[in-house]
Amino acid sequence: MNQIAQHLPVLIILFPLCATLLCPLISHFSPDWGKRSVISALFLSVVCAVWQLVIVVSSGESIHYFLGGWKPPIGIEFAVDNVNAVIILLVAVISWTTSLFSSPFEKKERTRSLYSAGYYSMLAFLAVGLLGMSTTGDAFNLYVFMEITAISGYGLIAVGEEKGPIASFRYLMTGTIGASMYLLGVGFLYASTGTLNMADLADKMPQLTDSPLIIIAVACLIVGFGIKMALFPLHGWQPAAHSYAHPGADPMIAGIMIKIPAYAMLRFFYCIFIEDSKVMQLFFAALGVMAVLGVLFGSLKALRYDTYNKILAYSSIGQVGYIAMGFAIGNVYGLIGAVLHIVSHAFMKAGLFYTSGALKYRYGIHETTYLGQVYRKMPVTSLTMVVCALSMIGLPPFAGFFSKWYLALGAIQKGQYIFVAVLILSSLLGAIYFFRIIEKLFMEREKISDEENNMRTEKKGKELPWQMLVPLIVVVAAVILIGLFNAYIAGDVLKPVITEVFLK
């Protein structure tokens, strides 16, 4: 057991990687087994992630894993502490549930065994890329994993619905610029320090705070991460990409693909750069302005639309603004709020996109005006939608309330009341559009055409297949549990690491 336990950081990435490389070969003989191998590999990753979290929290110190046996800074290392372990568990769980969720979609669309293999390969590569981005402790390794995430994202969006390829092309253009800006930033950092390891960069930073290369590097990094995260002025690719992605993979794209670059931004700005210097305070102020504008823009734009996916996509822009607000606030509660919001929003948004996919699978519904009285035939879906929507608005026992609470607490402690005002305003706006959707769910529709009525009764009143029910139940359980146990998570798991490592 100990033998396996010491290799855990790498095993979490190796299981999906082997599955995805074997998937075309296995699918050549039997497409079902190719799909099952990916799903079981992701389940093994979930088990390993839970084990790793237990080890890290109980022992209280971080795991360092040297790849290739070379000590850093000569080689690459993986560094896992509490915050890392929580995010790795999040990515693993959502990847596994999404791969389960897409299997009925894939069965319906399968024309050639290579397409099924290709879809599952891309999904597993997205998981590998996100898991790697959260685990690594080396700046260039982060770039390589970011590339894997991006390319699998382009692929999964391009096999989507009608406007999929155009949305994917737009994402490709802006995403490549973002990745290049990140690479430029890392290049400037290497030119001024000579090393690529994150802990080593942090050691060399104090002598270099005011050098112009570092200032330019920080600016390039903000633009690079901002494009990947869909932060306010750099969000242009996001609404189309999230609305037209393949419905089976959309929960993963909208839930975690834009959050992990935010986590990487947290690592860079708080662990590597000195956050007390004048230059960094200026950058944090700029980040705060972008965050506030993003929250307001997202909430206001979401009021205009009737297409379910577009509402959710614009609401995501607002939620990423909350996370950036947590970074701009910068004290303990601000950072706890930001990390907790990463976790809870991933589950909430994934849950909402699961319901969107479920409605498309059963009824082909895209607009909210056609939602009337769906709750009778699909009770679990409606329950998920209600729970996740209430959590996004920020009502108490659910997870969304607590992350906003910590953000507000942090803002009040620092005296930046504008953030509190923006939080309350955007929660009210969110209440407007989410209650609109919930109301349409339970009320009768204005006009039901005869053929639609027939289509609904013809489905023999079935709920979804079990592969789609399991993710919905997991998400609802996660939202409720994170809400109930948030004191433990924030106080015992996140707070020690944040005070020691991030806010030296």
Give the bridge partners for 64, in sequence order: 79
CB of 162 to other proteins, least distance (A): 13
Given candidates 50, 55, 62, 140, which one binds other proteins under the rule CB under 8 A? 140
Task: Tell whether residue 459 is a contact of other proteins (CB under 8 A).
Answer: no
Given candidates 38, 46, 85, 159, which one binds other proteins under the rule CB under 8 A? 159
CB of 114 to other proteins, least distance (A): 5
CB of 118 to other proteins, least distance (A): 4
Given candidates 192, 356, 391, 403, which one binds other proteins under the rule CB under 8 A? 192
Task: Tell whether residue 202 is a contact of other proteins (CB under 8 A).
Answer: no
Start-to-end Cα distance in the chain: 35
Task: Tell whether residue 125 is a contact of other proteins (CB under 8 A).
Answer: yes
Q: Residue 57 in 3-state DSSP?
A: helix
Given candidates 195, 277, 427, 467, which one binds other proteins under the rule CB under 8 A? 195
> Segment near other proteins (CB under 8 A), from 155-163, 235-243, 401-409, 494-502?
155-163
> Segment near other proteins (CB under 8 A), from 30-38, 138-146, 346-354, 479-487?
138-146
For residue 330 the two structure tokens come to 């910068």
Q: Kindly tell me which of 157 and 478 has the beta carbon lying closer to other proteins.
A: 157
Task: Tell whether residue 166 is a contact of other proteins (CB under 8 A).
Answer: no
Secondary structure of 432-496 in HEC code, one letter for each residue: HHHHHHHHHHHCCCCCCCHHHHHHHHHCCCCCCCHHHHHHHHHHHHHHHHHHHCHHHHHHHHHHH
Cis status, amide bond into 73, omega within 30 of 0: yes
**In this structure, what DSSP letter does residue 102 have?**
T
Task: Tell whether residue 152 is a contact of other proteins (CB under 8 A).
Answer: yes
Given candidates 73, 185, 288, 357, which one binds other proteins under the rule CB under 8 A? 73
Q: How far apart are CA 34 and CA 21, in angstroms?
A: 10
Q: How far apart are CA 446 and CA 441, in angstroms?
A: 12
Backbone angles phi, psi at 67, to 5 degrees: -80, 135
CB of 392 to other proteins, least distance (A): 32
Number of residues this chain uses to bind other proteins (CB under 8 A): 54
Contacts (CB under 8 A) with other proteins, residues 207-236: 211-213, 216
Site string for other proteins, 7-46 (x = CB under 8 A): x--x---x--xx--xxxxx--x------------------
CB of 10 to other proteins, least distance (A): 5
Site string for other proteins, 79-118 (x = CB under 8 A): -----------------------------------xx--x
Q: How far apart are CA 71 and CA 51, in angstroms?
A: 25
489, amino acid identity: I
Contacts (CB under 8 A) with other proteins, residues 351-410: none
Task: Tell whether residue 177 is a contact of other proteins (CB under 8 A).
Answer: no
Q: How far apart are CA 215 and CA 410, in angstroms?
A: 27
Long-range contacts of 410-413 (CB under 8 A, 24+ apart): 410/326, 410/329, 410/331, 410/332, 410/333, 410/334, 410/335, 410/336, 410/337, 411/325, 411/329, 411/334, 413/331, 413/333
Tally of CA atoms within 13 A in the half-sphere of 458 that contains its CB: 8
Task: Tell whether residue 141 is a contact of other proteins (CB under 8 A).
Answer: yes
Task: Tell whether residue 69 is a contact of other proteins (CB under 8 A).
Answer: yes
Q: How far apart are CA 449 and CA 428, in angstroms?
A: 34
Task: Tell whether residue 62 is a contact of other proteins (CB under 8 A).
Answer: no
Which contiguous run of DSSP H or E holds residue 63?
Answer: strand 63-67
CB of 424 to other proteins, least distance (A): 40
> Segment near other proteins (CB under 8 A), from 73-81, 226-234, 340-348, 442-450?
73-81
Torsion on CA atoms 394, 398, 399, 403, rounded to nearest 10: 40
Nearest residue to 76 (alpha-carbon basis) of 205, 193, 195, 161: 195
Q: Kindly tell me which of 155 and 294 has the beta carbon lying closer to other proteins.
A: 155
Q: Kindly tell me which of 63 and 385 has the beta carbon lying closer to other proteins.
A: 63
Q: Do you know the residue count of the chain? A: 504
Task: Tell whether residue 158 is a contact of other proteins (CB under 8 A).
Answer: yes
Task: Tell whether residue 74 is a contact of other proteins (CB under 8 A).
Answer: yes
The residues that touch other proteins, with contacts defined as CB under 8 A, are 7, 10, 14, 17-18, 21-25, 28, 65-70, 73-76, 114-115, 118-119, 121-122, 125, 128, 132, 140-141, 144-145, 147-148, 151-152, 154-155, 158-159, 165, 188, 190-195, 211-213, 216
